[in-house]
Amino acid sequence: MAETSAAPLRWPYNGRMIEIPMSEIQFASATQRLRTQGIELTGPAGTLAKDGVTAKYAYADGSLAIEIVDWPFLLPIPLVEAKLRAYLEQTVGSDMGRQES
């Protein structure tokens, strides 16, 4: 019997970017909050990583764009995207509530 070496199957990913509108103040606050979670944003553009998920990010013109480039084999990419989006939107929403006070 011949051995075959098949590449591991991964969830399909269409390369969409997560885009979240935010002000510079909200970006600065999100940077601080993410740092407390062990995620470093080192400037307006770069790479972030945590728990096996790696993404490229860029903040410009009032929007944070994130593209997930690697994630754990067993996690479906829609789940990774949804968790990241929810966390960022929660951060922005929390900051907007503080600004209105």
Chunked mean pLDDT (size 10), the chain, 101 residues: 53 70 90 86 92 93 92 88 84 60 45
Count of alpha carbons within 13 angstroms of residue 72, beta-carbon side: 7
pLDDT attached to residue 90:
80
Give me the pLDDT at residue 13, please. 58
Q: Which residue has the tokens 């002000």?
A: 23
| pLDDT of res. 16 | 66
**What residue segments make up the domains of the chain, in order of their start?**
18-100
Show the tokens assigned to 88: 């960022």
Alpha-carbon span 86 to 82, nearest angstrom: 6
Which residue type sits at 100?
Answer: E
The third-level CATH classification (topology) of the domain covering 18-100 is TATA-Binding Protein (3.30.310)
pLDDT at 14: 62
Please answer whether residues 62 and 23 qualify as being in contact, where contact means their C-beta atoms are separated by less than 8 angstroms. yes
Residue 3 structure tokens: 């051995």
As to burial, measured by CB atoms within 10 angstroms (0-12 exposed, 13-18 middle, 19+ buried), residue 56 is middle
